[in-house]
Structure 1
Amino acid sequence: MNGTRKWDTSKQHTLRYIAGPEDEDVKLRTILRQRLQVSRRLMTKLKFIEGGITVNGARLYMDAKLKPGDVVELRLPVETSETIEPQPMELDILYEDDYLLAVNKPAGIIVHPTLGHDRDTLANGVMYYWQQRGESYRFRPVHRLDEETSGVVVIAKNAYVHERISQQLQEHTVQKIYIAYVHGILERSSDVISAPIDRDPENPHIRIVTESGYPAVTAYEVLRTFAHASQVRLSLKTGRTHQIRVHMRWLGHPLIGDRMYALPEYDDEPYRALLPGQALHAQKIVLRHPIHDEDIQIEAPLPAELLRLQSMLEQGADSGR
């Protein structure tokens, strides 16, 4: 029999692990790091919290050896993002359980408050949502979307869950699928773009493809072609800032409505009234649930502005797939 793991929500947020035969004489530190995959940072934090880490209800040294049947408990404190002001906001909830919240973010809203912009963010709306339900969590998005990009944003409800998903992202085991509308007709119907990205030395807010940059890989598939544009499905293999926008511009097919990465040969003026920014939507994310240990798939439908854009492109289409 292997050791078993269970989350007990009745005691704040408590993760319980019952040692199995294979845990005989295994150190507590090893159980935490290897069996429960607790980071050193979180482990250190819990060591200084009363009852943060216990074995059979008692506090032990990290080098203490366990025996089968011992109960290891991690008690994460209830936290809140006190600096984020709760603010009423209509939220499109895609998924929620005791550990995760997934929201369909509209274009035109930033995920987290920034200097000089501490209201009207997704975080403000989520904090209000939790407040109205009598719940207290810290706002912990596991990934970000650009302000003008719509779609799935996943938020962890405690530090342990956040770290486990962050590890999946680092290991590139999270699948993130986007839908974009780009200028022009791509030469290939599908391909993998492997082109390193870094800041533009002349403008640090902009990213460029450069040999000295960080590895960046994007796979794409053309879903449909129109008269002068294409609908493309993209999958991120890495997570560089503005990666899709930079890679598509580098191919010579910038996203429709993308002012930052536009090319002079394409005219965005006909689409200005339809779009708040670039025509990019985070359609789907697939990840391993940190507690249930099973894959979950979260999808967000295309927003109204992209459906209107598609209709406009269809009216002028001369080819399709």
Structure 2
Amino acid sequence: MDAFTLEWKVSSQDTGKLVREFLKEQSISKTALTDIKFAGGGIFINGRSVTVRHRLIEGEVLKVVFPPEKPSLELKPENLPLQIVYEDPYVLVVNKAPYQQSIPSRESPTGSLANALLYYYQSTGLDVTVHLVNRLDRDTSGLLLVAKHRHIHHLLSEQQKAGRLKRTYEAVVHGGLEMDSGTIDAPIGRKDDSIIEREVREDGQRAVTHFKVIEKFRNCTHVQLQLETGRTHQIRVHVSHIGHPIVGDDLYGGLLVEIGRQALHCQELCFWHPMYQKEVVFYAELPEDMRELLEKATL
């Protein structure tokens, strides 16, 4: 694969700026500039190598060549099913199946979405590593955003920090919610006696989840949820906190009734494409097990 490059034609407004200043405005970090300088990249004006101290002149073509990326030796490629919703030279949007980890762990080094992505990259000639912008719990299904280069990952991560990476979920929760819509604003932190569980606690990080009822049934409710923040297990902790744990989420008080995992699915993903400079939105229908759960709830 060719090296990842970015290119700009210098405008009159940028004339006189140092290359360093201009690239900072393009959200290229100091770390990235250090890598470009020492790890095999380069900065060029009209094809001639320059330093970040070069002053730009209108009409010049500035080109940045990023150093090559190599995947971690610990991540093994695996030929696993992969449902790609969207792909371009910069990003992938994947519909992750339930019962699959986003990344491998010490206990489960294989079978993850990252393993599958690495195999896909290598089979299509992409010599890059895997950059997941967001992650989903093993038993949560739905849309997940992947950057094909560390700089794109940096840009999208900045969006995520600013709350511009919008994710909408659907879930089936126990019981009937009193309100048809509302906001749960409650800080979340790690539970003292667990390395996995989170809980609402005063010393936690601020966490905000918006919810809207889609349909009420006799013993459960189909809800839509939108994250304003992205804390670990946020939706699961928040709905449990208000007394309506997700069906199948036995870690947070849900019952494994008619489904073998928490009934939670990332249904919509919306973000600003940093290279095409436009907002893009993607959808993923509910998986079969959640559709069956809702059908049984109507009986």
TM bucket normalised to smaller: over 0.9
Q: Partners in 2 of 1:247 and 1:270 — Cα distance?
A: 20
For residue 51 of structure 1, report the CA deviation from its aligned partner: 4.2
Q: Partners in 2 of 1:161 and 1:254 — Cα distance?
A: 36
**Worse-superposed segment, 196-205 or 170-179:** 196-205
Aligned letter for 1:94? Answer: V
Q: Partners in 2 of 1:202 and 1:49 — Cα distance?
A: 43
Equivalent pair of 2:35/2:41 in contact (CA under 8 Å)? no
Deviations 1:249-301 (A, max 9, x none): 011000000011016xxxx2432xx32x2110011110011100111111111
Q: Partners in 1 of 2:2 and 2:119 — Cα distance?
A: 23
**Aligned equivalent of 1:103, options 72, 94, 98:** 94
**Aligned equivalent of 1:153, options 130, 140, 144:** 144
Residue aligning to 2:15: 24
Structure 1 segment 1-321 matched on structure 2, within 5 A? 11-34=2-25, 36-83=26-73, 84-262=75-253, 268-271=255-258, 274-275=259-260, 277-315=261-299
Q: Structure 2: any 5+ residue segments left out of the alignment?
A: none
Q: Partners in 1 of 2:118 and 2:201 — Cα distance?
A: 40
SS in 1 for 2:250: coil
Q: Partners in 2 of 1:133 and 1:50 — Cα distance?
A: 23
SS in 2 for 1:91: coil
Q: Partners in 2 of 1:225 and 1:305 — Cα distance?
A: 18
Equivalent pair of 1:142/1:162 in contact (CA under 8 Å)? yes
SS in 2 for 1:151: strand
CA-atom RMSD in angstroms: 1.5
SS in 2 for 1:176: strand
Equivalent pair of 1:225/1:231 in contact (CA under 8 Å)? yes
TM-score relative to the length of structure 2: 0.96
Provide closer, same or farther for how the CA distance between residues 62 and 254 of structure 1 changes in structure 2, counting only shifts above 3 A: same
Provide closer, same or farther for how the CA distance between residues 58 and 130 of structure 1 changes in structure 2, counting only shifts above 3 A: same
TM-score relative to the length of structure 1: 0.89
SS in 2 for 1:309: helix
Q: Structure 1: any 5+ residue segments left out of the alignment?
A: 1-9, 316-321
Equivalent pair of 1:219/1:236 in contact (CA under 8 Å)? yes
Q: Partners in 2 of 1:269 and 1:241 — Cα distance?
A: 21
Q: Partners in 2 of 1:162 and 1:297 — Cα distance?
A: 18
Aligned residues: 298
SS in 1 for 2:246: coil
